[in-house]
Amino acid sequence: MSTPGAVIHVVDDDPRFRTAVAHLLEAGGYQVALYQSGDQLLRNSPGDGLGCILLDVRMSGLDGLELQDRLKQMDSVLPIVFLTGHGDIPTSVKAIKAGAEDFLSKPVSKNTLFAAVERALAHCREQRASRGQLDNLRALVSALTSREREVFLLLARGRLNKQVAFELGMSERTVKAHRHAVMQKLKVTSLAQAVSIAERLGMLAAGT
């Protein structure tokens, strides 16, 4: 069941619970990092490695939801599994909407916990993988010249060569040449593939 290399970050201000969960996870073969507060976690920057965060909702100092916010801002890929002693619906809805992986109630059974952790780790893995593909595409797009980028965006939005030439004030032949270069640089063979790249990188959003 264990996932080598994965680190479970446990954040709870109750030392006994923290230790108990750590023992359980370790016994389950996970690597565990313990934090007594959200601040401590932030200071130690858990990084982009494979793992997840087990987070107590209610803590003195920075509470669970606040910490979730901060991690999102930092663009963390670590999925968050919330653990709470007194789960109320508003808090759980808030947490899930903000992207929480799971919301568990204390006391939590081993199976539930491990399942949630596994789901979180799988998600993390996916996240990390998809993040790697996008990085490649981003690198391809960044190789375009500014003219080629303009042409690419207009074509991706479904303009005809003629229309692109008119909008950018160039000849249709020139547009065709740029289009060819773009296809080559993006390593695609059809326009449809190029449009897909633009969409995955979020370049088609209004105003971009």
Binding site for another protein (CB under 8 A): 14, 16-17, 19-21, 23-24, 26-28, 58-60, 63, 83-86, 105-110, 113
**Residue keyed to tokens 């920057």:** 45
Minimum Å distance from CB 63 to another protein?
8
Contacts 24+ apart (CB under 8 A), 174-179: 175/151, 178/147, 178/148, 178/151, 179/151, 179/155
Q: Which is nearer to another protein, 65 or 156 (CB)?
A: 65
Q: Which is nearer to another protein, 112 or 193 (CB)?
A: 112
Minimum Å distance from CB 110 to another protein?
4
Q: Which is nearer to another protein, 16 or 97 (CB)?
A: 16
Single-letter amino acid code for the residue at 159: R
Tokens found for residue 191: 């326009």
Tokens found for residue 186: 């993006």
Contact between residue 50 and residue 5 where contact means Cβ atoms under 8 Å apart? yes
Rounded to whole angstroms, the Cα distance separating 150 from 159 reads 12
Minimum Å distance from CB 59 to another protein?
7
CA atoms within 13 Å, Cβ hemisphere of 28: 23
Q: Which is nearer to another protein, 34 or 108 (CB)?
A: 108
Q: Which is nearer to another protein, 108 or 140 (CB)?
A: 108
Minimum Å distance from CB 124 to another protein?
22
Minimum Å distance from CB 57 to another protein?
9
